[in-house]
C-alpha cells in the first residue's frame, strides 16, 4: 500500500510539473524557460523537479512522448472504424490532421520549433524513442496504403507514407501561421484535395 501511495504521489507531481512546463515553454520557449518558474507554478521546489526530470530537455521529451501517444491512439481509433480501404487511408490521414489542427503547442513540440531547443540536445537514445513513437503512427497510414494498393512494394508504400506526412506538416504549418489565408485557401481544402488525388491514384 505504501509503495502504491508513493507511486501515485510521484505521478501527481510529474503531471503538475508537465502542466506547468506547457505554460512556461509556450510563453518563453526552451532557452528562456526557467526550472525555478516551472517549480513555482507546480507548487514545489526546484530540487523536487530534479528527482523526476534531468532538466528542461527531459521535460520537453516527456511532453512530446505524451503527445505522440495521444496522437497514435486517435489515429488508430479513427482508422479502425473505417469500412473500406479507401476510407481507411482517408481516416488515417485526416485523423492526424484533425488531432493537430487545434493543438498549436503539440505541433510545435513535434517540429522542435521552440526557441532555444536544438534537436541534438534531446540525446540520441531519447531522440530514437521519440522517432519510433512517431513512426508507429505513420505506419498506421502505411498499412492503410498497402491495403488499398496491394501492388506497391514496401519502399513505395514508405515513400507514399512519407509524402503524406510532409504534406500534413506543411499544411499544419500554413494553418498555424495563418499563411493559408494569404493564398486564399484553408488547410482543410489543401488536405482533402491532396487526399482525393492520392486515393484515386492508389485505387
Whether the per-residue pLDDT at 192 is higher than 80: the answer is: yes
Return d(Cα 153, Cα 157) in angstroms, integer: 6
117 confidence band (pLDDT: 50, 70, 90): low
106 confidence band (pLDDT: 50, 70, 90): very high
Cβ atoms of 117 and 30 closer than 8 Å: yes
The total number of residues written for the chain in this structure: 203
* Structure confidence at residue 184 (pLDDT): 80
What spatial distance separates the first Cα and last Cα of the chain, rounded to whole Å? 57
**Average pLDDT of the chain to the nearest whole number:** 90
Q: What does the H/E/C string look like for the chain?
A: CHHHHHHHHHHHHHHHHHHHHHHHHHHHHHHHCCHHHHHHHHCCCHHHHHCCCCCHHHHHHHHHHHHHHHHHHHHHHHHHCCCCHHHHHHHHHHHHHHHHHCCHHHHHHHCCCCCCCCHHHHCHHHHHHHHHHHHHHHHHHHHHHHHHCCCCCHHHHHHHHHHHHHHHHHHHHHHHHCHHHHCCCCHHHHHHHHHHHHHHHHC
Give the start-to-end residue ranges of the domains of the chain: 1-53, 54-202
* Structure confidence at residue 115 (pLDDT): 53
**Topology, domain 1-53:** Arc Repressor Mutant, subunit A (1.10.10)
116 confidence band (pLDDT: 50, 70, 90): low
Q: C-alpha dihedral over 155, 157, 162, 165, to 10 degrees?
A: -170
- In the numeric block, the cell 519502399 is attached to 155
Whether the per-residue pLDDT at 4 is higher than 50: the answer is: no
Whether the per-residue pLDDT at 118 is higher than 80: the answer is: no
Return d(Cα 196, Cα 190) in angstroms, integer: 10
Kindly report the CATH class assigned to 54-202.
Answer: mainly alpha
Whether the per-residue pLDDT at 182 is higher than 60: the answer is: yes
Q: What is the mean pLDDT of residues 127-150?
A: 95
| Four-residue CA torsion sign, 17, 19, 20, 25 | positive
Amino acid at each position: 500500500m505504501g509503495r502504491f501511495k508513493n507511486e501515485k504521489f510521484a505521478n501527481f507531481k510529474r503531471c503538475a510539473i508537465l502542466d506547468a512546463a506547457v505554460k512556461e515553454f509556450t510563453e518563453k520557449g526552451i532557452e528562456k524557460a526557467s526550472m525555478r518558474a516551472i517549480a513555482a507554478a507546480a507548487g514545489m521546489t526546484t530540487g523536487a523537479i530534479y528527482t523526476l526530470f534531468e532538466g528542461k530537455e527531459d521535460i520537453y521529451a516527456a511532453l512530446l512522448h505524451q503527445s505522440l501517444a495521444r496522437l497514435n491512439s486517435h489515429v488508430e481509433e479513427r482508422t479502425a472504424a473505417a469500412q473500406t480501404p479507401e476510407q481507411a487511408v482517408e481516416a488515417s490521414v485526416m485523423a492526424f490532421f484533425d488531432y493537430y489542427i487545434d493543438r498549436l503547442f503539440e505541433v510545435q513540440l513535434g517540429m522542435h520549433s521552440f526557441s532555444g531547443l536544438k534537436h541534438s540536445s534531446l540525446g540520441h537514445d531519447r531522440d530514437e524513442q521519440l522517432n519510433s513513437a512517431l513512426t508507429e503512427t505513420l505506419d498506421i497510414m502505411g498499412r492503410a496504403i498497402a491495403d488499398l494498393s496491394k501492388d506497391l512494394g514496401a519502399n513505395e508504400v514508405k515513400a507514399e507514407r512519407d509524402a503524406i506526412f510532409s504534406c500534413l506538416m506543411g499544411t499544419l504549418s500554413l494553418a498555424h501561421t495563418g499563411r493559408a489565408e494569404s493564398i486564399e485557401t484553408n488547410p482543410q481544402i489543401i488536405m482533402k484535395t491532396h487526399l482525393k488525388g492520392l486515393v484515386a491514384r492508389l485505387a
